[in-house]
Structure 1
Amino acid sequence: MKSVLAIDDEPTNLLVVQELLEDEFNIECMESADNLEEYLQSNIPDIILLDVNMPGRDGYEICRWLKSEYEYSTIPVVFVSAKDTMEERLVGYDAGAYDYITKPFEYPEFLAKIRQLDKYLDHIYRIKDDYQNAFATAMQAMSGAGELGTIMQFLDDIIDCTTYRQVAERMFQTFTTFGLDVRVQIRVSGEVLSFSPDGEIKPLEEELLAKASGKGRFVDSGTYTFVNFEMVSIFIKNMPVDDQAVYGRIKDNMPSMLNGAEARLRALESEIVLNEKKKALNFAVEKIHSALGSAKHKMLDLKQHNSKLIEHLIGQMEAEFFSLDLTQEKEVYLMKILEKNKEKLASFHDDGQKLEVIFNKVIDRLQKAIN
């Protein structure tokens, strides 16, 4: 039932109004408006029935005051007065009255007007409820759209992350916009890495993350919530359990965010492994290149040494030919043997140079492949 406040300095009039309305309304009566402001601080009636002629402030003045106060301005005021002229009604209308009932009134007419006002208020309250619901829905939609935009920005930003710590730091930045206090644990390449916004994570927090990681996608305990994926888990320490709308949106958004984080972690893991292999291959190529350079210098030294050795041997043999009783044909034959072996040694060196060219081409191709 709706509440009605009747104000009249005649107790008899109040008694009549109370008897007419008490079966359908919660009725309160006041013989003056002196304490009206104090009364309204703890009681807001749906309807006010107001006499015009009263000691102190008259009904018109009281009505103007009510309409000037934001908290009371929407309460419909019905004047119940013996003044029945057009001028009086216009004054009441100008003061902000909803209706004007003349005393003495016919009971059926009085009840009909109050009941009509009751139906009008039902309609107004429904419109107000619909508006509030629509406004709340719109605000939730706007909040959801803003949160979705934040998630999309996060997914775009983590593409540029080149370390696991950078991924965790970008997650902290995003969670901060949601007002969440979070810890992050990443599991990659046989390692377990735990992070907090200030860099230091408590051993107990790290232990809780590890234990919760195998207990399902969401693990809830009061304001604590753990969200688990294969490579990443988060520990939310201040879930807004008192706001079911926000709580629900956070749970809806977390899978998208962590799916994106995990995809980046997988790619980053592969990139890091590939970079390690690339570094190892570069190191091997550098070693091979260094070994070839060293071999080249040794071959040059050997060529010079062999050439000097053959030249010396030829000189010695030419000197000894005079002391040997050899025919000219025999001398020529021996000199040809020495010259042929000299040419073979030169050929061996040329083959070594060709092999060096081949190795250099292989090294160039390896370097192009890994770079």
Structure 2
Amino acid sequence: MSERKHILVTDDEPLNLELMSEILEDDYHVSCVSSGAECLTFLKENTPDVLLLDVAMPNMDGYQICRAIKSDPSLALPILFVSARGSLEERLSGYEAGGDDYLVKPFDNQELLLKVKSMLKFVRKQHELNIQLNEIAMMAMTNSGEIGHLLNFLRHSFECNDLDALTKAVFSTLKQFSLNGTLQYAHSGNVLATFDTSGIYKPVESELLQMTKQQGRIFNHNNRSIFNFENCSLLIKNMPSKHDEKYGRLLDHLCMLMEGVNSRVTSILRQQIVQKNSDNNKALMINTKKGITKIQSDLQKQKKTAIRISQALLNQLETDLLGLGLDDDQEIHITTLVDDNVTKLMNVYDDHHAIEDFCKEVVSALDKNNEP
């Protein structure tokens, strides 16, 4: 059986106190005081559920008492004015003082009971509403803190230039939610890497992530949830029960987290491709420069070798002509013939200057492209 509600009646007329006490005592625990001072003293040591308050009393009227009570946060109780003064002005004065309802004397017994019952119902509803508001406030604070974790991750993720750094940021965020999981990266259907919050992942977990890739954005099984995105998947191993109020929030938060992870993975992979192409181009330019420099060197060596051979040929020819018994005209003819062809050969090598100049231009252009 529930405890009876406590009603405090304040009135300077003993007859009124006796009347209201008789009406209420069958249903409620009733206390009576005859002045404002007694009322305030009583409230310091007791906490009634409803106060019935007369207006016209000596020394301190009902409005003054009401204002004194409402000014003290520890005395939060509903006040029902019970007065012979029922004009609009009096009622407005009562409401301005902080009263919750107004009953005019003389009154019907049932009317008093209904008023008190209504006041208690109001108190109960207000209490329930306060509980709900507190729960909503706590939930809002919790949700705000959780969203703060996500925002911190998103800010930090822009500083992550590789998958290892990104993984640390993800696992740090999961720790804020008291969650354990396995994170897998993939590209074009190929698994790039798999990481676990414990440091070691089980092969079966990696396989599960691959097998559930086509099972939709979220795949749930008991206390495990898998979140699938294009370039990454996350297995959470300790999700709360579906009946837990945190469950729905965590699903939303983890989807937001993985959407950010997927976006950053895509960016990192693109950066790696660009860097790889850049490295390949640099290597190609270096090898091309080496090749052209070698061509220049070989051309110079060939020209010097040709000059040396031609000079040796002319010297040998002059020596050999002396022993052939040729007349002067014949010697001059042969010597001139050889000289002319040697000159033509040198002219051919002189034409290589254009090739050398072109090679120098190419090397110079490659040097500029390699500058930081």
Question: Is the pair's TM-score, using the shorter chain for normalization, greater than 0.5?
Answer: yes
What SS does the corresponding residue of 1:194 show, helix, strand or coil? strand
Report the counterpart of residue 266 of structure 2 in structure 1. Answer: 266
One-letter code aligned to 2:223 = T
Distance 2:360 2:256 in 1: 50
Q: Is 1:236 matched with 2:233?
A: no
Counterpart Cα distance in 1 of 2:335 and 2:108: 150
- The two structures, once aligned, show a CA RMSD in angstroms of 4.6
CA–CA separation in structure 1 for the residues paired with 2:154 and 2:133: 31
What 5-or-longer segments of structure 1 have no aligned partner? 8-15, 29-47, 67-71, 80-84
Q: Cα offset for 1:200?
A: 2.1
Tell me the equivalent position of 1:252.
252
Distance in 1 between the 2:329 and 2:259 partners?
91
C-alpha offsets along residues 231-272 of structure 1, whole Å, 9 cap, x if unaligned? Answer: 211112233446755433332333333233223222322332
Over 3 Å counting, the alpha-carbon distance change for 1:360 and 1:110 in structure 2 is farther
| Equivalence map 1:295-334=2 (5 Å) | 295-334=295-334
**Alignment map for 1:142-157 (pairs within 5 Å):** 143-157=142-156
Q: Which residue of 2 aligns with 1:75?
A: 49
SS in 2 for 1:160: coil
The count of corresponding residues between Structure 1 and Structure 2 is: 327
The answer to whether the 8 A contact 1:217-1:227 is kept is yes
Q: What is the distance in 1 between the residues matched to 2:284 and 2:124? A: 82
1:1-371 matches, cutoff 5 A: 4-5=4-5, 27=27, 48-50=29-31, 63-66=43-46, 72=47, 75-76=49-50, 111-134=110-133, 136-141=135-140, 143-188=142-187, 190-241=190-241, 245-352=245-352, 354-359=354-359, 361-362=361-362, 365=365
Conservation of the 8 A alpha-carbon contact between 1:185 and 1:233:
yes
**Paired AA for residue 49 in structure 1:** V
Normalization by structure 2: what TM-score? 0.67
Amino acid at match of 1:271: Q
Give aligned-pair identity as a percent.
Answer: 19
- C-alpha deviation, 1:77, in angstroms: 5.4
Once residues 143 and 222 of structure 1 are traced to their aligned partners in structure 2, the CA distance between those partners, rounded to angstroms, is 25
Given that 1:310 and 1:338 are in contact with CA atoms closer than 8 Å, whether structure 2 keeps it comes out as no
Shift of 1:76: 3.0
| Superposed CA offset, 1:115-149 (max 9, x none) | 32332333344445445545544554555455445
In the alignment, the residues of structure 2 paired with residue 204 and residue 289 of structure 1 have an alpha-carbon distance, to the nearest angstrom, of: 51
CA distance in 2, matches of 1:368, 1:263: 35
Which residue is 1:41 aligned to? none
Q: 1:341 is matched by which residue type in structure 2?
A: N
Q: SS of 1:186's equivalent?
A: strand
CA distance 1:120–1:292, change in 2 (3 Å) = same
Q: Where does structure 2 lack aligned partners over 5 or more consecutive residues? A: 8-19, 70-74, 83-104
Distance 2:157 2:58 in 1: 75
State the Cα distance separating 1:59 from its structure 2 match.
9.9
Checking the alignment, whether the CA contact within 8 Å between 1:158 and 1:264 is kept in structure 2 is: yes
Aligned counterparts of 2:213 and 2:254: Cα–Cα separation in 1: 15
Contact 1:209–1:235 (CA under 8 A) maintained in structure 2:
yes
The 1:113/1:310 distance shift into structure 2, 3 A limit, reads same
Task: Specify the alignment match of 1:45 in structure 2.
Answer: none
- 356 and 3 in structure 1: CA distance in 2 versus 1, 3 angstrom threshold: farther
SS in 1 for 2:30: strand
Tell me if the contact between 2:195 and 2:201 (Cα under 8 Å) persists in the aligned partners: yes
SS in 2 for 1:258: helix
Give 1:358's aligned amino acid. Answer: F
Distance (Å, rounded) in 2 between the aligned partners of 1:366 and 1:348: 28
The secondary structure found in structure 2 opposite 1:4 is coil
One-letter identity of the residue aligned with 2:218: F
Secondary structure of the corresponding residue to residue 227 of structure 1:
strand
Moved more, 312-321 or 332-341: 332-341
Could you give the per-residue CA deviations for residues 315-344 of structure 1, whole angstroms, max 9, x where no partner exists? 122233334444544444433333333334
Cα pair distance change 1:163/1:19, threshold 3 Å: same
Contact 1:49-1:78 within 8 A present in 2 as well: no
